[in-house]
Amino acid sequence: MAAQDPRPATEPAGAGIIRVRYLVAGLVVVVGYFLATGLIARHHLERARYDVDRLRHSLLASDHSAAHRWMAAAQSEARSAHRWLAGPAWAAAEWVPWFGRPARVERGLASVAVTLADHALPPAVQAGDTLTPSHLRDAAGAVRLTVFRSAAAPLTAAATATRDAGSAVARLPTSSWLPAANHARDGAASLIAELTRVLRDASDAAALAPAMLGDSATRHYLLVVENDAEARGLGGLPGVVGVVTASHGRLSFGRFENNSYLGDIPKGRVAVYSAYRDTYADSDVLTNFQDSDVSPDFPIVGKVWLSMWQARTGQRLDGAIATDPTALSYLLEASGPARLADGTEVSGSNVVALTEQKSYARFGSLAAREAYFIDIAHAVSDQVVGTPHGRAHALITAMSRAVAEHRLALYSSDPAEEATLAATPLAGGLPRTRAPFVGTTVNNGQGSKLDYYLQRSVTYDRAGCSVSGQQLSTVTMRLTNAAPANLPPYVTIRLGSARHQPVGSERLFVALYATSGAQLAGVTADGSQLLAAVGEEEGHPRYEVDVTIDRGATTTLVFRLVEPRRSSQVVTWRQPGVGPERFAVTGRRCG
């Protein structure tokens, strides 16, 4: 019997290569499966995102048939994406350490898309059907308050579902090795945040509208039309004032008065708001109505206005409304022009120039000019309240634009209502945020009306990171006095220390509101160092400088800041004025 060879049999030549080929082929199949299914799912998710965006636009435009079509399309695409990623292979892949992060993101986005499509979109569309502009007013012109009550519940449900969807996206990995997954997550987070904001604001408005429009008790609001030709932090000098009455959805206006009606309020008659008084210690914010709105924060200004009105008249009002001629121009574009007793047509194209420029050349006396402003206020208010049904959507769009630009703001003296308002743009408040923040204001320091010609631009440049990881930033403001020569003396008036400057020059108090926790490293005007007054408002450091700009000149202010390192998106705030404030954010953020 032959002895067995103890050595292992030799592996056939090429067997190892074959195994490698099989392994590579298997990997190709697996990768190909994930790549193909992932791309298909991504395609459906992108289409669903597009459909949701079109749905949002359709709701804002009150195109209900289109809204229903886009909702159905978004639901179909979201479910298709979810099906492609619902298999066991994807479920297992997301648990692989590190490599599974993109799978977690993709599956999470698909699940969120289905939740959004099934639980947020239907009640949002239902509310949109209810809040059709043509249904908002009855034949007599009163607002149908039942419409808001009917829409409140579905709007709340939609806002809650959208907020929950945003929370689910926030729990997904914030970074992975696949840039496309990171981009998809960021895009979804941005879209859902915008939807949440819109639905929350609409939900709050529907909840507040019945009571604030006099559903159970008549309401009275102080209306103040500001004159942006003389800048104040809120926008412009408080001008024409009047009382708006709301009863069972019907709005009416009493008599209007010029700003001298409130005049100088004796000290101690206005409720003392110590923080406001201390921040603006150099201004008579609690005694002089014309200086009462040097702050851009309307909730505190509204309180001061109501207290001043009560001190002057003894009447306690339910709230305050601030607006300006530019906002009135938007409303007149929607409602159609108003007409004065002398036949003058006041329209969206001329109301700003009539009230903030031409009136100063037309009327030599203050009394005649103030009477003219009051005539315009009466005519415009009557025209807007009587806007035809067919223009209701245009009127709502105009109001939304005015609110977004801080040209229309509302304060309620009811604490619960004001707490709800405070979370909406209609409150007109400085945003309380710890995100990188920049906002600027100018206050006229000489009593002129030259701010009609003021041109403003702001650049916020996040230059880089310091050794300690803090953000180094600069805010550059360019202010141009574009006033022409030979203006009426009332327009170029120079009060106080400004009176010795050349005619046509203007004195401005310029303030920068910065990121919470920021420190000012220095400020220059055209390269020369300035001293800045330091304060704080709504959690934001406030740095103010005093500058004078000759007619035709441009002054460049540069604020250098050291800010806390924060990676969130920059929040900006823009002061309304006659001309638009050009704004740019540049540079990079510390990671």
Domain ranges in the chain are 15-212, 219-421, 431-587
Query: How is residue 141 annotated by DSSP?
Result: S
Q: Does residue 552 contact residue 482 with C-beta atoms inside 8 Å? A: yes
540, burial (CB in 10 Å: exposed 0-12, middle 13-18, buried 19+): buried
Residue 352 has which token pair?
A: 């700003």
Q: Does residue 425 contact residue 404 with C-beta atoms inside 8 Å? A: yes
**Residue tagged 């630009």 (tokens):** 405
Residue ranges of the chain with per-residue pLDDT less than 70:
1-16, 19-31, 33, 389-390, 466-467, 496-500, 589-591
Measured in degrees and rounded to the nearest 5, phi and psi for residue 244 equal -100, 130
Strands (E), 526-564: 528-529, 533-537, 540-549, 554-563
Q: In sequence order, which residues have a C-beta less than 8 Å from that of residue 533 and are 6 or more positions away?
A: 543, 544, 545
Q: What's at 45, amino acid-wise? A: L
How are beta strands 250-257 and 235-247 bridged, if at all? antiparallel
Residue 302 has which token pair?
A: 């509204």
Task: Name the strand (E) or helix (H) holding 442.
Answer: strand 437-444
Q: Does residue 452 contact residue 356 with C-beta atoms inside 8 Å? A: yes
Predicted local confidence at residue 522, as pLDDT: 97
Fold entry, domain 431-587: Immunoglobulin-like (2.60.40)
Predicted local confidence at residue 590, as pLDDT: 63
Nearest by Cα to 260 from 312, 314, 331: 312
Task: Name the strand (E) or helix (H) holding 180.
Answer: helix 179-212
Over residues 150-173, the pLDDT tens digits come to: 999 999 999 999 999 999 999 999
Cα–Cα distances in angstroms (integers) from residue 272 to residues 278, 281, 285, 291, in the given order: 10, 13, 10, 15
Residue 505 has which token pair?
A: 């020059």
**Cα–chain center distance at 115:** 27
Over residues 345-369, the pLDDT tens digits come to: 999 999 999 999 999 999 989 999 9
Predicted local confidence at residue 396, as pLDDT: 87
Q: Measured on CA atoms in the order 309, 315, 317, 322, is the torsion positive or negative?
A: negative
3-state secondary structure of 383: helix
Predicted local confidence at residue 1, as pLDDT: 47
CATH superfamily for domain 219-421? LCP protein (3.40.630.190)
Predicted local confidence at residue 443, as pLDDT: 97
Q: Model's pTM, two decimal places?
A: 0.87
Predicted local confidence at residue 5, as pLDDT: 52
The alpha-helical segments, DSSP class H, found in 280-425 are: 298-313, 325-335, 351-353, 359-362, 366-385, 392-404, 415-421
